[in-house]
Amino acid sequence: MKSVLITGANRGLGLGMVNYLVKQNKAENIFATCRKGSEELNQLAQQNKHLHIIQLDVTNVNSFGDVSSTISKLVGAGGLNLLMNNAGVATKFTKLNMVKAEQILENFTVNTVAPIMLTKALLPLLKQAAETNSDKPAGVQRALVVNMSSVLGSIAQNDQGGFYPYRCSKAALNAATKSMSIDLKKDNIVVASMHPGWVKTDMGGNNAPLDIPTSIEGIFTTIEKLGEQDTGKFFQYDGKELPW
C-alpha cells in the first residue's frame, strides 16, 4: 500500500498502527492525524520522513478540506489507499437511569459523524487510488476504508445492556459502513468495520486481555486479505466475521 491515513494517531491503537507501519515498512506515505502530537509520534516522524503529522480534531468538519489538500499535494495522482477512521471516544458507566443527552451527542459526533464526513471529504483521493491501481485486486492495494468500530456496537451480541452513547454510536457507524460499501462499490472502494479486540489502551483499560501490538498485527493481517467479497462486513482483529 502506498498511502495511509490514520486518525487519532497520537496514542493508543492509532499510535500502534503508525508504529507497526513504520517498523514493517508497509507504506510509502503515512498521514498520522491528531488533535495534539505526542512525544512518541513526534519522535517517529523525526526518524521517518515519510510519516507526516497532520493536526486534526475530527469534530472540526470544516477543516477536512484542508486535510485533503495537504495530502493531495504529497501523493499526487497516487491518491489514498487506506483510510483508517480510528479516533474515538467512549463514555462509560452509562446505565439508562444515568445517561445524559450530551454524552450520547459527544459519542455520535466523534464516533459516527466524523468518520462519515471525513470519508466524504477524502473520497476524491480514495477514488484516485482505486483508479490508478486498477490492475491490482480490490482492497488495500487499491482503496479501502476501515471504520474502527467495536463489538459493543453489535446489536446481535448485546447481552449486557447499558453503554448507550458508545453502543449506539458504533452501531450507527456500522450502518454507515454498510451504506458506504454499497455507494462506493462502483468506484472499487472496499469498506469494512473492524473490532480491534479488547485492548490495553486508555480506553480499554488495564484489564484488557490484548496488548496493542497483538491487536494491530491482527488488524493489518486481516485488512490485507480483504477483497471485493468482504465489502460491507464487520470483522474482528483476528479475521473472524462479526454479526451486526
Ligand X SMILES: NC(=O)c1ccc[n+]([C@@H]2O[C@H](COP(=O)([O-])OP(=O)(O)OC[C@H]3O[C@@H](n4cnc5c(N)ncnc54)[C@H](OP(=O)(O)O)[C@@H]3O)[C@@H](O)[C@H]2O)c1
Q: Which chain residues interact with ligand X by CB under 6 A?
A: 7-8, 10-14, 34-36, 57-59, 86-90, 110, 148, 150, 195-196, 198-199, 201-204, 208
Of the pair 22, 34, the CB lying nearest ligand X is at: 34
Give the Cα separation of 45 and 215 in Å (integer).
Answer: 22
**Nearest residue (CB) to ligand X, 134 versus 207:** 207
Nearer to ligand X, 8 or 79 (CB): 8
Whether 50 and 21 have beta carbons less than 8 Å apart is answered as: no
Which residue, 119 or 150, is less far from ligand X as judged by CB? 150
In the bound complex, what is the minimum distance in angstroms from residue 88's beta carbon to ligand X?
A: 2
Amino acid at 21: L
Residues 6+ apart with CB under 8 A from 9: 15, 17, 18, 32, 33, 34, 41, 53, 86
CB of 56 to ligand X, least distance (A): 6
Q: How far is the CB of 124 from ligand X (least distance, A)?
A: 22
DSSP-based three-state secondary structure for 35: coil
CB of 99 to ligand X, least distance (A): 18
Element (H, E) at 146: strand 144-148
3-state secondary structure of 132: helix
Beta carbon nearer to ligand X, 1 or 146: 146
Residue 84's nearest CA partner among 222, 182, 188 is: 222
Which residue is it, cell 482505486? Answer: 130
- Provide the β-strand partners of residue 231: none
Residue 1 CB, nearest approach to ligand X (Å): 20
